[in-house]
Amino acid sequence: MKAGQLGEKKLVEMFVRNLFGSDMATIPAGLDDTAAVAHNGEELVLKTDVMFASTHFPAAMGFKAMGRKVAVANLSDIAAMGARPLALLMAFGVPPEMDAEDLEKVFFGINEACEEHRCPFVGGDTKKAKELTLAGMAVGACRKEELLLRSNAEVGDVVAVTGSIGNAACGMLILTKGLKLPAKLSGPLTDSFTRPVARIAEGRAIASTAPGSAGMDITDGLLYTASEISRASGVGMKLNSKKIPFTPEAKEFAKLQQHASPVRLLEYGEDYELVVCIRKNKFAKVKDAVEEAGGALAGIGEVIKEKRIYLDGEPVDTHGYDVILR
């Protein structure tokens, strides 16, 4: 079988099989949003994410937005663990014919994201490549008991999400399909895709207020994310679409472009919001803590014993977005 037939998830499973490890690696590769290594009484959380111009950045996306997006993609996984960021590194594959001013804009985007998330950019590497390639590595830290592990969900937990869902998917569709929409509608949606935010403050608020909660960031769709947490925890979830925080813009886009409810947007990712499972008796306190940190948290369902994902009482397909290598 060729690598292109496996898809991203199967390739990861193949890569992490039988890897060398040690007791220092408290979260081995492939089990969670990041790996973790014990260091000086804390957990160092480590993540790398790579993006290519041809597959990750629509032609209409500016170079500064490209830099910001890859930086946030790495930092979002730090947020998903409830950790605070310590540093970001970046390896650049640069086509020789690329304009130097455009490359500088990529650096500006990375730096903007690092400054906004209070994470120093500490260097990396640069090599010649056939296309623009941006490979980031983020490092964070957290107390072990605070880590928002995918495997921490328990029956009866409140399933909740930060922010709003679906805007980034709308923005991606606008850019990739060249849709012509009123600026009042398209502006906020494309901004959600090109100017994402890692929910660092929200992740820290959740982890410190309710240690032992489960969490994951939404890069491959809400339903897929819910299924990954459920799989790791050996549970299921019942979700209520009426409680999912869609913005008015996302609802209008779904009505105009898809002639459907915004629930269709749950098939996409790119939100970089967090899905968390929190003990019911702690949810109100956690919600207050997230709001005090400047974010938002909405309960959208509950964790159940049956190992299925239900949306409005119906079992749903949770394959999510999987990159097929071409």
pLDDT digits (tens, 9 = 90+) for 241-253: 999 999 999 999 9
Least confident of 15-24, 106-115, 189-198: 15-24
Domain spans of the chain? Answer: 3-144, 146-315
pLDDT-based confidence at 326, cuts 50/70/90? Answer: very low
Res 301 pLDDT > 80: yes
CATH number among 3.40.50.720, 3.30.1330.10, 3.20.20.10, 3.40.47.10, domain 3-144: 3.30.1330.10
Distances (CA, A) of 291 to 188, 227, 232, 274: 22, 26, 28, 14
Position 266 scores a pLDDT of: 82
Mean pLDDT of the chain: 90
Answer yes or no: is pLDDT of 132 > 80.
yes
Range with the largest mean pLDDT of 5-14, 19-28, 142-151: 142-151
d(CA 115, CA 285): 29
Which range has the worst mean pLDDT, 25-34, 179-188, 315-324?
A: 315-324
CATH of domain 146-315: 3.90.650.10
Statement: residue 19 has pLDDT above 70 = no
Task: Give the CA count within 13 Å in the CB-facing half-sphere of 297.
Answer: 28
